[in-house]
């Protein structure tokens, strides 16, 4: 089952991340509903400012919504909530709990993604058993308060050549620079403000997916990851 879910992360795809403070007055539930209606297959819940209770109640709703649409549901950082709501996986950063402890807590069937910002971190993530990695931030981004400096397209080149596990390209990616990262070999693209901050989320996702799908048609040979 996990193998099938990971296949989505190695395909040409859009990985959407919530950010209520950037959503123009819309709450996370409304935003996720638009994402799902638009055909998004991977959604990460990322919410830094709410209480644990508020996050749990939102994630319970989103978990059911994603199940109804057959969408992979990833929770950022909070491994306890991920376990409580039976999410598909979690995404952790370099300063969060060690991956081996997260694996012990969640079990083998949970997807664990790890943010990486350098070749050394990429190789270490593979060695310690990450299921996928985040590669970035490629461009300048302001969606997180503690974000590191952009790693640039050079690190994306390294990930394309050296990553033996799926990776999600993230950081400042917009509709107007999407072709640049796709041309470099990125497949799964994470977007935050470009999606949640759009006046019309469904229209924006449609435009982005059209671009991604065009690149997918150029590469008919998909990688085997299992």
Active site members: 46, 115, 144
H or E element: which one contains 154? helix 152-162
The residues pairing with 13 across neighbouring beta strands, listed in sequence order, are 188
Nearest to 15 by CA among 162, 164, 134: 134
For residues 84 and 131, what is the distance between their CA atoms, to the nearest angstrom? 20
For residues 43 and 3, what is the distance between their CA atoms, to the nearest angstrom? 17
For residues 136 and 38, what is the distance between their CA atoms, to the nearest angstrom? 25
For residues 34 and 196, what is the distance between their CA atoms, to the nearest angstrom? 10
Q: How many helices (H) and strands (E) does the chain have?
A: 10, 8
For residues 208 and 91, what is the distance between their CA atoms, to the nearest angstrom? 23
3-state SS, one letter per residue, for 35-67: HHHCCCCEEEECCCCCCHHHHHHHHHHHHHHHH
Per the CB < 8 A criterion, the answer to whether 132 and 6 are in contact is yes
């Amino acid at each position: 089952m996990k193998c099938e879910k990971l296949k989505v992360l190695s395909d040409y795809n859009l990985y959407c991340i919530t950010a209520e403070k950037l959503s123009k007055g819309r709450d996370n539930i409304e935003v996720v509903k638009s994402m799902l209606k638009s055909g998004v297959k991977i959604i990460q819940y990322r919410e830094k400012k709410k209480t644990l209770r508020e996050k749990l109640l939102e994630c319970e709703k989103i978990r059911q919504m994603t199940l109804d649409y057959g969408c992979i549901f990833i929770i950022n950082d909070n491994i306890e909530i991920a376990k409580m709501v039976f999410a598909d996986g979690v995404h952790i950063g370099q300063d969060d709990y060690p991956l081996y402890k997260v694996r012990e807590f969640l079990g083998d069937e949970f997807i664990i993604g790890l943010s990486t910002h350098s070749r050394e971190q990429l190789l270490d993530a593979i060695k310690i058993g990450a299921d996928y990695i985040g590669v970035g931030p490629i461009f300048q981004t302001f969606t997180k308060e503690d974000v590191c400096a952009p790693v640039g397209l050079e690190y994306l080149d390294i990930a394309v050549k050296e990553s033996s596990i799926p990776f999600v390209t993230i950081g400042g990616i917009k509709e107007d620079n999407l072709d640049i990262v796709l041309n470099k070999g990125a497949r799964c693209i994470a977007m935050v403000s470009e999606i949640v901050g759009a006046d019309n989320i469904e229209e924006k996702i449609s435009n982005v997916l059209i671009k991604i799908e065009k690149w997918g048609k150029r590469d008919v040979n998909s990688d085997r990851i299992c």
